[in-house]
Amino acid sequence: MKGFKKYFIVLIITAAVFTIAWYLSIYFNQRKIEEIKQVQTKVTTDILASETQFDLLQEMSCENTEATYLSSEISELADKISYGELHFSDQTELSLLKQQYSVLEVKDYLLTKRVSARCKEDITTILYFYADKDSCADCVSQGYVLDALRSQYPGIRVYSFDARLDSSTIRALLSIYKVSAALPSIVLNDKTHNGFVSLADLKKMLPVSVTAPTKQTPATSALKVKSPSTKSD
């Protein structure tokens, strides 16, 4: 090939390679969205099953409750949504999935509270409200604290909510627990703490039943903290 013809042809080939790579990226990201949806469906089914089981248990003993409630996939779902927030170019569908995930979290939270009340179990729950690091500088640090807390006390159930998410469920939670606009906020066993709470202070607030080593609930039912600090996991 003479002159600049080859330069033009190679330019076309390079552009074609990039276009193919772009299509591949879209294809695989769509597959991932589908996978998230599948996990979401599984979690929904699990929670529904747990709720039904719980209704049945109203008339029965509490001996086997630990093995029945809480879907183990909800943690996987949280991980995958966080990953998608970082790596997917199109966030529209993911945002919707995140809203659905928040609703599932709330259902899980309510179910936990019902089990706790019905079976007289001391299950400590934390609702954690965060925002992205641009509008909440302390949220990253708070995420670290909750990660560490979860690591030390696997029985604690932490539910993380993006307070800026356009979700009526989250708005209802913010209103019920009087969460201020100054994030982060933590609701520990129904008591709201606005602003950053250090690990030491948080430990002091924990009930004795949690800090005592023999009273921890199984790790399999634990949720991982999802916040800006853990998005890169």
Partner 1 sequence: MTIPEILTYTVVFLAMYVQLFLLVTYFEHRKEMKKLKNEPIPAVDHYPKVAIIVPCWNEESTVHGTIASILALEYPEDRLEVIAVDDGSTDKTWEHLLQYKDHPRVRIFKKENGGKHTAINFGIDNTDADIIGGLDADSFVAPDALIRMIGIFNTNKDAWAVTPSLVVHNPKNLLQYAQRVEYNMSTYNKKMLSLLGAIHVTPGPFSLFRREMFAKIGKFKKAHNTEDQELAYRMQENHLEIVHSVNSFVYTSSPNTIKKLYVQRLRWIYGFIQNTIDYRRLLFKREYLNFSFFTLPSGIISIVAVVYLAIVFMYDAIIFVIKKVTQYSIAGFSPSSAVHVNFDWFYINTQTVSFVTVILYLLLMFSIVMGTRLNKQGNGFHWHVLAYMLIYSVIAPFWLLKAVWNTIARRGQPKWR
Q: Which of 91, 152, 180, 220 binds partner 1 (CB under 8 A)?
A: 152
Rounded to 5 degrees, what are φ and ψ at 207?
-65, 155
Nearer residue to partner 1 within complex by CB, 64 or 198: 198
Closest to 43 in 3D by CA, of 104, 87, 88: 104
Nearer residue to partner 1 within complex by CB, 18 or 48: 18
Task: Identify residues 62-91 at the interface with partner 1 (CB under 8 A).
Answer: 79-80, 83, 87, 89
CB atoms within 10 A of CB 40: 19
217 token code pair: 């609930």
174 token code pair: 């913010």
Is cis: bond before 213, omega within 30 of 0? no
Does 162 bind partner 1 (CB under 8 A)? Our answer is no
Binding range to partner 1, per CB under 8 A, among 5-13, 46-54, 56-64, 158-166:
5-13
Dist CA 63 CA 199 (whole Å): 33
Q: Which of 73, 105, 147, 162 binds partner 1 (CB under 8 A)?
A: 147
For residues 106 and 169, the answer to whether their CB atoms sit within 8 Å is yes
Residues that bind partner 1 (CB under 8 A): 1, 3-4, 6-7, 9-11, 13-14, 17-18, 20-22, 24-25, 28-29, 32, 35, 79-80, 83, 87, 89, 140-141, 144-145, 147-152, 198-199, 224, 229, 232-233
